């Protein structure tokens, strides 16, 4: 357990506005700040930062908490790791003891395993056992220096070569399983996750080997196999080669489709290339790219799947306001093949001529219609107006409307009127849909962790308001505990939060958010932040606190239909008489 003095100093040196502002673009609105939530995709800001309470809360997805909770979620860290990161940011030394760092030690151990495994795979590649893999990489045009630069390797076809090597280095089997280097079979034996594959180590921006991607040489199995998520790796939150690309001098990042494209681009001098990790681009990856570049060039394959992925990526980058250009790879299926056929100089010219995302989309529309005919023009302009209505920047919209109107020899004014009409209709529909979706989304998340809330909504609201009063008025706790205890709560979720708060108050410990984050998980912290964000739950007097207690206790006194059915006539009569007595003034 960390000392209150240390936690207080940590909070003082890590203002939540500054910390969140380094991750999220927030704008001041009165005393608070608002922005697009980094934890779910949205177009209308529902993420709010409250400097007064040093908290944040998203009214869309329910994420919330203090500065430690925010860093935990953004960086995929446990509590102690988040505290360490904030301490380092503030120049504070961590206490030498007093906290459980077992999870942090496991993550350190997994990173050690990954580093040793990467060495093993690379040594295997340059050994006789790795000839098949080395021949493949050289056939793909990779030089020895590029192979060393990326630490490429080869996983032998043996069932347990990596396991034996790592056990010989002093690692335990359970640690290898946690690192997903070893997999336990249904028979209880263990085998290597990667076998007979060329290996691409995945390295984070701190230089740690966090996972691996493997391309099969022959035999059965997926063409590419990627490490599953582990305590040190979330594929949705990392990018291949970002550790190199973040230092590139280019103003833009190139987003390619796979490992080999990225390696080939780097070898050709385009060290600003990155790729996703066996999944479609995620919102987290899009936001990560925006932290390192003001522009992204999408260089996906020219096939149908690549074009579909390009459309999705354009929309995702558009939501966070990142400038996008789209590379048209001509006479080759991907950047790797293009560079082999035409060289790096031609590719740079191709890169410089990459059109905007807007031009990419308009070009696709053009291909659908014969613009030499009247029907073709009408069909194109209808779709064009629909597309333009989705463009937020009015200047950009006006430029392209004028351009297309001139090219097709039509009047700009009626086209602009049609676009404005569609914008108004879309705004109305979007507002209704977002309100509906957010209600369903937030309710669904709450119901998964708090299923009793729906059945006892009146009492659950009273529980939440009582928790809010206690957080704002900790001096009320003795009076409140004289009348109600945690076991009187009807919902398990609120009961646990109330129990933690009461226990801390009875021990004379603080109940501000940064103190609670040591004991409550991310979902619970979100609930507490939501309660604090609800003004109705924090303005109440002791009289209103007493009313909330009455509501909770009255709800507890009620019997379920099943309990009533099990009562005999005498018990039922006593229960009804008790209810009647409570209703008398």
Q: What are phi and psi of 325, to 5 degrees?
A: -125, 155
Q: What pLDDT does 272 receive?
A: 96
The CATH class of the 103-233 domain is alpha beta
- Rg, Å, the chain Cα set: 29
- Specify burial of residue 349 (Cβ count, 10 A radius: 0-12, 13-18, 19+): exposed
Q: What pLDDT does 448 receive?
A: 54
Other Cβ atoms less than 10 A from the Cβ of 343: the count is 11
Q: Which two tokens stand for residue 581?
A: 């007595």
Q: In sequence order, what are the beta bridge partners of 209?
A: 203
> CATH 1.10.860.10 occupies which residues in the chain?
452-559
Cβ–Cβ < 8 Å for 354, 297: yes
pTM of the predicted model, to two decimals?
0.65
Cβ–Cβ < 8 Å for 16, 55: yes
Which CATH code for domain 452-559? 1.10.860.10
**How would CATH label the architecture of 4-90?**
Alpha-Beta Complex (3.90)
Other Cβ atoms less than 10 A from the Cβ of 252: the count is 20
**DSSP assignment of 248-316:** -SSSEEEEESSHHHHHHHHHTT-TTEEE-SSS---HHHHHHHHHH-SEEEEE--SSHHHHHHHHHHHHH
Closest CA to 1 of 92, 65, 86, 97: 97
Q: In sequence order, what are the beta bridge partners of 32?
A: 29
Segment-wise mean pLDDT, segments of 10 residues, the chain, 585 residues? 86 94 91 91 87 92 94 88 92 76 84 97 96 96 97 96 97 96 94 97 93 91 92 90 91 93 96 89 86 90 80 82 86 91 94 84 86 91 88 83 91 91 82 53 51 85 92 90 93 94 91 91 92 69 88 81 66 63 50
> CATH 3.90.980.10 occupies which residues in the chain?
103-233
Give the three-class secondary structure for 491. coil
* 273-275/252-256 β-pairing: parallel
Domain 242-359 in CATH 3.40.1280.10? The answer is no
> CATH 3.90.580.10 occupies which residues in the chain?
4-90
> CATH 3.40.1360.10 occupies which residues in the chain?
242-359
Contacting residues for 62 by C-beta, under 8 A, at least 6 apart: 442, 445, 446, 523, 526, 527, 530
Q: What pLDDT does 15 receive?
A: 94
């Amino acid at each position: 357990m960390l000392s209150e003095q240390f936690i207080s100093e940590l909070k003082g040196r890590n203002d939540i506005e500054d910390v969140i502002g380094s991750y999220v673009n927030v704008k001041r609105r009165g005393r608070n700040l608002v922005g697009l939530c980094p934890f779910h995709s949205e177009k209308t800001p529902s993420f709010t930062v409250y400097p007064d309470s040093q908290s944040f809360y998203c009214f869309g997805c329910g994420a919330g908490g203090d500065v430690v909770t925010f860093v935990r979620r953004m960086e995929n860290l446990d509590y102690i790791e988040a505290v360490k990161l904030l301490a380092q940011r503030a120049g504070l030394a961590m206490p030498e003891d007093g906290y459980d760092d077992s999870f942090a030690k496991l993550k350190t151990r997994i990173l050690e395993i990954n580093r040793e495994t990467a060495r093993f795979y690379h040594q295997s590649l340059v050994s006789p056992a790795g000839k098949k893999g080395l021949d493949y990489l050289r056939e793909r045009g990779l030089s020895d220096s590029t192979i060393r630069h990326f630490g490429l390797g080869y996983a032998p076809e043996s069932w347990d070569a990596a396991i034996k090597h790592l056990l010989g280095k002093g690692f335990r089997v359970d640690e290898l399983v946690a690192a997903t280097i070893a997999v336990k079979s249904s028979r209880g034996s263990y085998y290597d996750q990667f076998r007979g594959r060329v290996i691409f180590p995945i390295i984070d921006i701190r230089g740690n080997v966090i996972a691996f991607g493997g391309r099969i040489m022959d035999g059965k199995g997926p063409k590419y196999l990627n490490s599953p998520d582990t305590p040190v790796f979330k594929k949705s939150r990392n990018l291949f080669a970002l550790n190199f690309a973040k230092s590139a001098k280019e103003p833009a990042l190139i987003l390619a489709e796979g490992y080999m494209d990225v390696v080939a681009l780097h070898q050709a001098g385009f060290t600003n290339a990155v790729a996703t990790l066996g999944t479609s681009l995620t919102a987290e990856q899009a936001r990560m790219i925006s932290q390192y570049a003001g522009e992204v060039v999408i260089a996906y394959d020219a096939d149908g799947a690549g074009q579909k992925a390009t459309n999705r990526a354009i929309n995702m980058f558009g939501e966070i306001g990142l400038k996008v250009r789209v590379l048209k790879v001509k006479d080759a299926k991907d950047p790797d093949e293009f560079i082999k056929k035409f060289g790096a100089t031609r590719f740079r010219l191709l890169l410089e001529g990459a059109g905007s995302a807007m031009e990419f989309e308009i070009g696709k529309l053009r291909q659908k219609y014969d613009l030499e005919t009247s029907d073709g023009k009408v069909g194109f302009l209808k779709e064009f107006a629909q597309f333009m209505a989705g463009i937020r920047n009015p200047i950009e919209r006006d430029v392209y409307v004028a351009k297309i109107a001139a090219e097709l020899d039509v009047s700009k004014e009626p086209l602009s009127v049609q676009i404005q009409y569609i914008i108004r209709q879309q705004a109305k529909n979007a507002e209704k849909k977002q309100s509906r979706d957010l209600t369903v989304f937030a309710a669904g998340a709450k119901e998964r962790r708090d299923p009793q809330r729906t059945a006892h909504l009146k009492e659950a609201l009273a529980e939440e308001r009582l928790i809010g009063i206690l957080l704002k008025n900790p001096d009320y706790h003795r009076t409140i505990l004289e009348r109600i205890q945690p076991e009187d709560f009807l919902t398990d979720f609120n009961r646990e939060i109330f129990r933690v708060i009461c226990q801390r108050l009875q021990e004379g410990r603080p109940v501000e958010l940064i103190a609670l984050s040591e004991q409550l998980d991310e979902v619970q912290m979100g609930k507490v932040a939501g309660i604090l964000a609800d003004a109705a739950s924090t303005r109440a007097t002791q009289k209103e606190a007493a009313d909330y207690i009455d509501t909770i206790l009255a709800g507890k006194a009620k019997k379920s239909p099943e309990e009533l059915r099990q009562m005999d006539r005498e018990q039922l009569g006593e229960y009804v008489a008790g209810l009647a007595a409570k209703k008398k003034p």
